[in-house]
């Protein structure tokens, strides 16, 4: 069988009983985290354009949309929620695959499950299947999509969204394979937003989630797609990565035996994941005593090579971000914000914050060194060295970024992050109810009753 056919067979046969308990727990926590990120984006008025664009189309009431009282067509809901869940860049990443997984999978699986009236257990199984497929496609040839300027969150994400939607729709193995073949023609997403800080990156997650539902629907109505969508002469890797020979056997051979969902990394900061370890290294180097910006003569961050083009170059642009989204991809700005304010959080990337001259002056002092960290690419390591005007040197290094599997956040820390984000948009009792229902998802009979608290007045309630 081709890779698509093997992914389809596994997706169709997977059961909740076959998923280890720790994988189930991880999947629920990642779902919760993604929803918290989406609620915070709604409250702050970030990445809401997708919701307003989808509002224009109307259609059947099928699935919940964050901040909207009525249900919308499932594909519209998936797009709107995908943009919101990825809008703050606070959502999770699988390091080896270099994919934001849950910003695609949560909106796609929720919309598909609500549209079919599926149980929480069915949603959870589909979610795990989609997670594993996205990650394994990304891991098959790490960073090759980046080198061509394509965003693997969308390029790989559409296949996970498709598998989940097809399973929840009740498609059989051949039809799921057809849907995956169709999904290859819906893959998209380019990195050119880095040129000027445009906010197209959240579109990538929304488009992948929506396209997954569209691909499943097309297959359900008899459309066909190439079985060789992954390994073929004009397949995914050849077209998007210029890789014409790809060994997918490692991605396929241990499906259902090795689980990657627990290795998806949570984010403690709302910024590009390459920024996290250097920020924490700065905080650790300075410690509780703190330093003032006036005391600092030089700052050097230590990063793996792929971080340079994303968060450090071109140097002049990174030292003075043009937009809040641009700032989330600026390591100099983020390090300077940590040093000046002692914290990096949602407020650090607001419009008024990116013009803080104290931060910008210090950002101009930040230089970088490329280091061949032995933990990369399994982790996203980083370090920092701060030279003070009196000659003292403060330095620290994190071989594994916080929130990843080698340096994990606890379940309670993840829940605290959710509550803080969700309460920007929801009263405490609604946030707590949503958390309880998500964390007991496998026991919920109807997914439509789980996500009711996502809905409401579409006007932001914070900021």
Q: Is residue 462 part of a domain?
A: no
Q: Is 146 in the same domain as 216?
A: yes
Mark whether 122 and 13 lie in a shared domain.
Answer: yes
Domain boundary (366, 398, 430) is at: 398
Rg for the chain, CA atoms, rounded = 21
In this predicted structure, what is the pLDDT of residue 458? 40
Sign, Cα dihedral of 301, 302, 307, 312? positive
Residue 388 lies in a domain: yes
Return the bridge partners of 16, or none.
none
Angstrom CA distances, 256 to 13, 42, 125, 137, 306, stand at 10, 36, 12, 15, 31
Tokens encoding 289: 């005593």
**Measured between alpha carbons, how far is 375 from 432 in angstroms, rounded to an integer?**
37
Tell me whether the omega of the peptide bond preceding residue 377 falls within 30 degrees of 0, making it cis: yes
Question: What's the pLDDT at 142?
Answer: 84
How many CB atoms lie under 10 A from the CB of residue 135? 25
Is 266:92 a contact under the CB 8 Å cutoff? yes
In Å, the largest CA–CA distance within the chain is 73
Question: What's 341's domain CATH number?
Answer: 3.30.1330.120
Beta strands, E only, 107-182: none
Is residue 463 situated within a structural domain? no
Residue whose tokens read 């970088």: 368
Point out the domain boundary residue: 352, 369, 398. 398
Q: Report how far apart, in Å, the C-alpha atoms of 354 and of each of 334, 345, 437 are.
A: 10, 13, 37
Give the model confidence (pLDDT) of 383-440 as tens digits: 999 999 999 999 999 999 999 999 999 999 999 999 999 999 999 999 999 999 999 9
**Residue 227 corresponds to which tokens in the numbers above?**
């079985």
What residues form DSSP beta bridges with 190?
150
Query: Which residue, of 355, 376, 398, is where some domain finishes?
Result: 398
99 with 246, same domain: the answer is: yes
Answer yes or no: do 288 and 165 share one domain. Answer: no
- For residues 79 and 58, state if they share a domain: yes
Identify whether the C-beta of residue 445 lies closer than 8 Å to the C-beta of residue 119.
yes
460 domain residue, yes or no: no
What is the per-residue pLDDT across 257-311, written as a single tens digit (0 to 9) for each? Answer: 999 999 999 999 999 999 999 999 999 999 977 789 899 999 999 999 999 999 9
Q: Which residues of the chain have pLDDT under 70?
A: 457-463
Q: Which domain holds residue 377?
A: 273-398
Q: Report yes or no on 403 lying in a domain.
A: no
Instruction: Tell which residue, 387, 399, 393, has the closest CA to residue 303.
Output: 399
Instruction: Mark whether 329 and 442 lie in a shared domain.
Output: no
User: What distance in Å separates the CA atoms of residue 49 and residue 53, rounded to the nearest whole number?
Assistant: 6
In a domain? residue 200 = yes
**Burial of residue 155, with CB atoms counted within 10 A of its CB: 0-12 exposed, 13-18 middle, 19 or more buried:** buried
The reply to whether 45 and 180 lie within a common domain is yes
Pair 381, 308 in one domain = yes
Verify that 306 and 361 share a domain, yes or no. yes
DSSP assignment, residue 291? -
Overall pTM > 0.85: yes
Rounded Cα gap, residues 333 and 360, in angstroms: 7
Cβ atoms of 334 and 279 within 8 Å: the answer is yes
Q: What CA–CA distance (Å, rounded) separates 62 from 112? A: 9
* In a domain? residue 461: no
H or E element that contains 176: helix 173-183
Same domain? 394 vs 419: no
CATH number assigned to the domain comprising residue 208: 1.10.4100.10
CA dihedral 81, 82, 83, 89 (to 10 degrees): 120
Q: Do residue 222 and residue 339 come from a single domain?
A: no
Shared-domain flag, residues 157 and 299: no
DSSP count for the chain of H helices, then E strands:
21, 6
User: How many structural domains is the chain composed of?
Assistant: 2
The answer as to whether 248 is a domain residue is yes
């Amino acid at each position: 069988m081709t890779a698509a056919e093997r992914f389809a067979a596994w997706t169709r046969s997977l059961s909740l009983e076959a998923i280890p308990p720790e994988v189930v727990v991880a999947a629920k926590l990642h779902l919760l985290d993604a929803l918290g990120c989406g609620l915070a984006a709604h409250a702050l008025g970030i990445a809401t354009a997708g919701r307003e664009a989808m509002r224009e189309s109307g259609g059947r009431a099928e699935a919940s949309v964050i901040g909207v009282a009525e249900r919308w067509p499932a594909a519209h809901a998936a797009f709107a929620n995908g943009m919101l869940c990825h809008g703050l860049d606070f959502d999770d990443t699988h390091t080896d695959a270099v994919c934001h997984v849950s910003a695609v999978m949560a909106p796609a699986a929720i919309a598909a499950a609500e549209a079919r009236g599926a149980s929480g257990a069915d949603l959870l199984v589909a979610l795990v299947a989609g997670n594993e497929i996205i990650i394994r496609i990304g891991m098959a040839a790490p960073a090759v999509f980046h080198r061509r300027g394509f965003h693997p969150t969308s390029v790989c994400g559409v296949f996970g969204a498709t598998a989940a939607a097809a399973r929840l729709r009740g498609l059989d193995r051949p039809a799921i394979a057809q849907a995956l073949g169709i999904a290859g023609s819906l893959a998209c997403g380019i990195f050119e937003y880095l040129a000027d800080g445009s906010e197209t990156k959240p579109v990538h997650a929304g488009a992948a989630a929506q396209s997954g539902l569209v691909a499943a629907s097309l297959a359900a109505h008899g459309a066909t797609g190439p079985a060789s969508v992954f390994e073929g002469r004009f397949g995914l890797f050849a077209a998007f990565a210029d890789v014409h020979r790809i060994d997918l056997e490692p991605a396929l051979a241990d499906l259902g035996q090795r689980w990657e969902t627990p290795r998806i990394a949570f984010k403690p900061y709302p910024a590009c994941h390459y920024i996290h370890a250097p920020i924490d290294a700065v905080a650790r180097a300075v410690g509780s005593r703190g330093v003032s910006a006036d005391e600092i003569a030089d700052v050097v961050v230590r990063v793996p090579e792929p971080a340079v083009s994303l968060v450090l170059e071109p140097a002049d642009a990174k030292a003075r971000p043009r937009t809040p989204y641009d700032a989330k991809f600026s390591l100099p700005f983020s390090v300077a914000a940590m040093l000046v304010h002692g914290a990096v959080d949602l407020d650090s990337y607001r419009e008024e914050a990116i013009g803080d001259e104290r931060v910008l002056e210090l950002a101009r002092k930040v230089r970088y060194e490329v280091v061949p960290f032995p933990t990369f690419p399994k982790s996203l390591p980083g370090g920092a060295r701060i030279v003070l005007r009196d000659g003292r040197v403060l330095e620290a290094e994190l071989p594994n970024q916080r929130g990843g599997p080698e340096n994990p956040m606890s379940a309670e820390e993840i829940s605290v992050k959710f509550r803080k984000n969700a309460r920007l948009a929801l009263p405490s009792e609604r946030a707590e109810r949503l958390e309880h229902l998500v964390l007991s998802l496998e026991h919920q009979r109807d997914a439509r009753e789980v996500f009711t608290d996502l809905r409401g007045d579409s006007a932001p309630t914070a900021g």
